[in-house]
Structure 1
Amino acid sequence: MTSYVYIDNSNLYIEGCRVSAVEKGLATSIIHAMGTGIIDHTWQLDYGKLYEFVCGQDSVARLWGSPPPGDSFWNMLNRKGFNPTVYERGVSGGEKKVDVAIAHRITKDAFTIIDKDNDSIILVAGDKDFMPVITDLVSEGYNVECIFWDQAAREVKEGVRKFTSLTPYHSHFTK
């Protein structure tokens, strides 16, 4: 059994910064942090620990976003032969293309290399923009899971076969 892991780096990082803001008392709750745009800009995610938590021995990990350089995760990816897909941020500082690129790759992999009877698809993102892909693949019999912070969209949590929260492990993933 192989796990195919698809990680939206920016979504993961920004929402982890919100969890950190709540833990540090900068916001009273995730709802408060989301509503007021409060995030902890000092929080750092240990990608090596994330990889160990999310990926098993037989995993194919794909990561999209605008990654920070020099993290243990990038060294691990290079050692294992993985190549992340990186997009430069736009003029406004936001990312474009990432959700569509991830959804496209999940779909392409599902119909070309993933064995729906034995393999699993793990999405590390909580954005409801992924719902069309999740809904289609689950209805086709694929094992689709989501691993993300508690504030993942309700539709995502309910649409996948299994949801695992990263929130209880936030301190473990903190550098």
Structure 2
Amino acid sequence: MPNINSDSVSLTDIDETDKRLLRLLQTEARMSITELAERVNLSATPCARRVKHLEDTGIITGYYTQTNAQKLGYPLAIFIAISMDRHTAERFEQFERKIQSFDEVVSCSIVTGRSEDYLIKVRVRDMAHYEEFLLHRLNRIEGVAQVHTSFELREVFSRSIV
């Protein structure tokens, strides 16, 4: 197994067995160590050590359950580009704290290459829910100067990187 310093891990530090482990865990995180080991041709103990090492170095950051937003009643996905009125650390920190408190927001990124400062992805039940979110919460965050909305027609795919 490669010798990886937890502060500086690069793709070259990950071997093919590690990549196979990551791909398997990304598709089925509840797989037992025994089954995982069989699928990558290792015995259980070295497999468990590799998984622990991937966790310890911060390559594996957690395990979670993927949900179907449509079946949970949130079929509408919206991308919202947000421009801030001022570009100060305090303004951005305040916005980021507030936006994290909204359950509808599933991701938030600072972006470059366009006039907006943030790109968020939101999940809502319907247009009335979106209107309430936009007018009564998002637009009331201090510093939000402008929003531009794009509705997702269909997600082609979403995946994690290995």
- If the length of structure 1 is used for normalisation, what is the TM-score? 0.23
User: Based on CA coordinates, which of the two structures has the bigger radius of gyration?
Assistant: 2
The TM-score with structure 2 as length reference comes to 0.24
More helix, by proportion: 1
